[in-house]
Each structure stands twice: as structure tokens, then as C-alpha cells.
Amino acid sequence: MQKIVISLDAMGGINAPTSVIEAAFNVAKLNPRVHFLIFGLEDKVVSILQALSFPEERYDFIATKDVIQDRDKPLHAFKNGKESSMRKAIDAVKDGLAHACLSCGNTGALMVTAKMVLGTLPGVKRPAIAGAFPTYENKLIMLDMGANNECSESVIFQFALMGRCLAKVVLQIGNPSIAILNVGEEETKGRELEQKSYELLKSSGLNFIGYIEGHDIVRGKADVVVTDGFSGNLVLKASEGAINMFMTLLKEISKSSGFITLVGAFLLKRALKKKLTRIDPNVNNGAMFIGLDGIVIKSHGSATTFGVTNAISLAYELANRDINAQIIKEIKNLEERGIGLNFVEKIKQTSAKILGIPT
């Protein structure tokens, strides 16, 4: 039985290291194939491992001296964080000791460090943060959720290709539909970025369904939604904010409705909560830094043990299915159909040839 090894930065996130180690413990209990490399401060981590009676054969604990803080600037974290739990967890992937790594810590620091340490897949211009967006009907993958504040249309096109691969592997959809996030559905809507990206995707022959608006994302009207990292992050957080508000509201009512003890109220609440599960950010927790030459999963900084458990399960799935090999294979197939990572450049060359412009 081949093991899948996941390296964990135990120190990032507001509930860490407890949430991270409890989550690893949960996954280890359910899945005999998983093994963990746990990186963190000895005085914080060891007592938790002992309290859980975490079976010693299921993990290696590697004491690290340093922790990347949420306020650390990404480049500073990369240059000065060589002894940090985050860096060591990424190094483990680079060194072939782990199949995937996970952190709940500083997103910018994790992205920059992972990019510098692991590099990108061949031909990829910019790695992106790709994750399941909370929707009511279906699962939906969005990228970029925050790695690149500003992007060109050729970068957006690459996001579409990589998102397509991820949807095929994770959502098990044969020919995922792709949409561009925009402020309207009409072709004339949006900025130059949306309009140029639209033209590219329209001419690609991929399953491109046009623009999607913010309120249609939650309805899962596309399998993959592409956008720049600034817009993706805004929309994700706004949706999560609204969802969390409802969760709080439900809790408030439960607390204040002491006099409502009838069975009906209980059943109603249960029905509501069951439906809410589908869009709970902790259920959808875990985003992939797609386009890197190694699997790196970012969990929400505020994720609970339950949330981190889901993110670790995602890391396991992506490692087990060898997502990056799938991406490379898929892109090779697309290249053969003339829709590769350098589709934009090829279009430009073709246009230049037709127009007689030297390339």
C-alpha cells in the first residue's frame, strides 16, 4: 500500500496548531494510507499530539524555530523565514518527502514562498488560487481567488485551462463549462480585460458559456469561473460574509428562542442546517495554488478543525490523483488541438502572418 504523505504547517491560522493537528488526527483515523509530516514549535505542538494520543507511526513531527506571522510581507517571509514551519512544509514537497503540503497561514507568504521554492509548471505564466466557491446547486471552481491582483487576458486564458483540468479531476465533469466573472451578461459589459478574455475564450473551442454575474455564481451556473485575483477575492469574501451572517443569525435565534421547544422548531432548524451545509465555508475549505510544480493547499485562516479536516482531505485527493500530471496531460491534449498555454501568442503570430507583419 503506497502512502500519501502530506506536510503540514501546524502554526498558521487563528485556531492553529490545535485545529491543524486535530484535523490530521481525524483524517488519519479514517484513511490508513495517509501519513503526516508535522512542522511547528515544539512547545506548542507536542502537548496536543500527546493529548490526542496521535499514533506515532502515523506522523513525523519536525520541530521548527520560526513562525510566519499574518502581517509579514510575502517577500520578507520568503527571504527571512527559512526556519519557519511554513517554509519547511513547502521544502518537504520540493525535496520529494511529501506529495502535498497544507498551511492555514499568511496567504501571500505561502504563495510567494511556494512559487520561489517549487517553481511553476512548464509554460504557466502565473499560478492562481483555485477553490470551490460556495454554491447552492452544484460545485463550482473559481480562480483566481487572490494570488494576482491584476492580470492580462492571456493569464485569464491560462486560468481557464487550468481550472478546466481541476474541474475534470475534482468535480469529475467531462467537459466543464467556463465563464468569466463580470458585471453583466451582455458582450459589451465589463472592462477591457473581460472583453479581451471573452474574445480569446470564444475562439478557443472550449466549453465557454460567456459572462457570469456575482449573483449567478451561488446558483452554480458554470463549472469554472475565471477572473483576476482582486475581483475573485472580493466576491468570495462578500459571499462568505453573507453566509456567515446567516449562520450567526441562526445561532442567535436558537439562543433567544428558549420558549420554542416544540418538535416542529427543532425539525425546521435541522432542515435549514442540513441545506446550509452545502454552502458552509468550512465544508468548502481548501484552495489549491494551481500552476505550481508541487501541490500546495491553503486552508482558510479562520477554519475550524472540521474545516481543516476538509482541506486535508482535498490535499489527499489531489495528491492521490496526481493532479499536476493530469494538468500537464490535459494541456498537452489541448496543445494538440491548438489550444495550449500559448494560445494567445499563437493567435497573435497567425494574425501577424496574415497581415504580413514580421513576428
Residues that bind its own copies (CB under 8 A): 71, 73, 134, 136, 146, 149-150, 181, 183, 186, 188, 190-191, 213-219, 229-231, 233-246, 248-250, 252-253, 256-257, 260-269, 271-272, 275-276, 279
Nearer to its own copies, 262 or 325 (CB): 262
Closest CB 49 distance from its own copies, rounded Å: 32
Give the residue from 3, 4, 9, 48 showing the smallest Cα distance to 297.
9
C-alpha cell at 332: 498537452
Closest CB 69 distance from its own copies, rounded Å: 11
| DSSP β-bridge partners for residue 264 | none
Q: Are the C-beta atoms of 227 and 235 separated by less than 8 Å?
A: yes
Nearer to its own copies, 149 or 350 (CB): 149
* Distances, alpha carbon 123 to alpha carbons 78, 171, 178, 345, in Å: 23, 25, 21, 12
Nearer to its own copies, 35 or 221 (CB): 221
Measured between alpha carbons, how far is 287 from 296 in angstroms, rounded to an integer?
Answer: 8
201, burial (CB in 10 Å: exposed 0-12, middle 13-18, buried 19+): buried
Nearer to its own copies, 172 or 261 (CB): 261
Nearer to its own copies, 212 or 295 (CB): 212
| H or E element, residue 87 | helix 85-94
Closest CB 306 distance from its own copies, rounded Å: 19
Closest CB 212 distance from its own copies, rounded Å: 10
Closest CB 136 distance from its own copies, rounded Å: 5
Nearer to its own copies, 28 or 287 (CB): 287
Strand residue runs (E) in the chain = 4-9, 34-40, 59-63, 100-103, 128-132, 141-143, 178-181, 208-212, 224-226, 287-290, 295-298
Closest CB 57 distance from its own copies, rounded Å: 40
Closest CB 25 distance from its own copies, rounded Å: 29
Residues 6+ apart with CB under 8 A from 259: none
Nearer to its own copies, 53 or 261 (CB): 261
Measured between alpha carbons, how far is 288 from 297 in angstroms, rounded to an integer?
Answer: 5
